[in-house]
Amino acid sequence: MLHVEGNKPLGLCDGLTRRDFLRVGALGAGSIGLTLTDLGNARADAGRDINCILLLLVGGPSQLDTWDPKPEAPSTVRGPFRPIRTTVPGIQLAESFPLMAGMAGQFALVRSVYHDAAPIHETGHQLLQTGRLATDAVDYPHYGSVLSAVRGRRHADTPAFVVLPTPVGDTGVTVSHAQGAGYLGSRHEPVVLRGDPLSGNFTAAVDAAHRTADARPTGPNAGFDTVFSGRSKQAFDLDRESSGTRQRYGRSTFGQSCLLARRLVESGVRLVTVNMFETVFDNLTWDCHADGGALSTTLDDYRRTLCPMFDSAYTALLDDLKQRGMLDTTLVVAMGEFGRTPELNPRGGRDHWPSCWTVLFAGAGVRGGQAIGASDAKAAEPSDRPVSAAAIAATVYTALGLNPESHLPGPDGVSYPLADAAPVTELFRG
């Protein structure tokens, strides 16, 4: 496996110090190897073999300026965007999502997600991809690694878990972003290839990684060699797609990564995580502090670039999966690591806010056209049906056909349940 992380020594986003983080949340630990013996009890539904595409919206989209607008709030709260109607009566979105508004019956909104850990990117990444914070003793596995452990590879020539287009790098604190196998060990790590599918030469990145792996004295990793042959390698070749399909997803790295995710799932990969961005620093991301420096993204950038980029890619992905008969067997989750402050900051941006935000679910038995939970008048706190990060994890596992109450054997003879909360069962068709 080739898994390259970037860790530049940048300052912390939002003014927090490393000591602040250590007081509130624990640091991630290294992976611990483990031989799994009996995971049969984790399979809640042996006949329900579901794939997953997880869209990680790095930076944390503002709930008010995307999928939970508050048109009656004061201007310092509601921000610059008007709400628009959708095809579902009673559900409105911000005006920058016209394509999503036209297919609101295909996805569900959970508008009352929260966590109470430190308000930094890394805690959200850990909680939303594992259900827990890492500790000094335990680094918990990503959903994809759990699928790898419980179900294994679908085909001999496809990996179980892939991260695109590159791992999450610097977001302020040099700790785990929870995109690996944790205590499950290296056998269940994701395949990660650095490359930009927008450039048109992503297969070159596969070939380069292949050469690097072959040159290692110990030979290629047993889980990594599957990407270099057969259906897996073909799936990375976006030139096999029509120009119209590629245009529909959007000519952006994120859009083409979403298309690549569909191709990988179609080839047999069980779970693909698409990181919308690698870092929040000196880059256009959802992290809209508007500070004029390294965190300069503004709500105008939401309007011009970020929202249209997501609108195109997300709706194309759902349409494509549905047309290919894959949506019923593929869970699509789109989520940021937290929301944004209800009040605009003095620069017209918004800062970190883990007390309330929206997560999107589609496919795999999810009943679209509904909003579960609600936020208060300022989208500051849940006012109905609060949903914790642990409940998001339980919901993902349930949709994947796994029992969130079942235990995985862990390090030092300790076993851990897949999730520490009940799933949001209202999401699913009866």
pLDDT of residue 28: 32
For 217-271, the pLDDT digits (tens) are 545 455 566 666 677 788 999 999 999 999 999 999 999 999 999 999 999 999 9
For 343-391, the pLDDT digits (tens) are 999 999 999 999 999 999 999 999 999 999 999 999 999 999 999 999 9
DSSP state of 344: P
pLDDT of residue 42: 60
pLDDT of residue 413: 86
Going by pLDDT thresholds of 50, 70 and 90, the confidence category of residue 204 is low
Question: Quick check: 63 pLDDT over 80?
Answer: yes
d(CA 181, CA 189): 5
Pairing state between β 83-85 and 92-94 = antiparallel
Pairing state between β 51-56 and 339-340 = unpaired
d(CA 273, CA 213): 22
pLDDT of residue 279: 98
CATH number of 34-427: 3.40.720.10
pLDDT of residue 213: 57
pLDDT of residue 30: 33
Q: Which residue from 61, 10, 65, 98 is spatially nearest to 285, judged by alpha carbons?
A: 61
For 387-428, the pLDDT digits (tens) are 999 999 999 999 999 999 999 988 888 899 999 999 999 999
Percent of the chain with pLDDT over 90: 76
pLDDT of residue 231: 78
Higher pLDDT, 181 or 226: 181
For 4-45, the pLDDT digits (tens) are 332 333 334 544 443 333 333 333 333 333 334 445 556 555
For 77-124, the pLDDT digits (tens) are 999 999 999 999 999 999 999 999 999 999 999 999 999 999 999 999
Are 338 and 352 a contacting pair, CB within 8 Å?
yes
Are 65 and 303 a contacting pair, CB within 8 Å?
no
pLDDT of residue 47: 56
Structure tokens at 161: 């878990």
d(CA 240, CA 51): 22
What string of DSSP letters covers 14-61? Answer: GG--HHHHHHHSPPPPPP--------GGGBS-TT---EEEEEE-TT--
- Interacting residues of 96 by C-beta distance below 8 A, sequence separation 6+: 65, 66, 81, 302, 303, 307, 308, 311
Structure tokens at 205: 């990145």
pLDDT of residue 291: 97
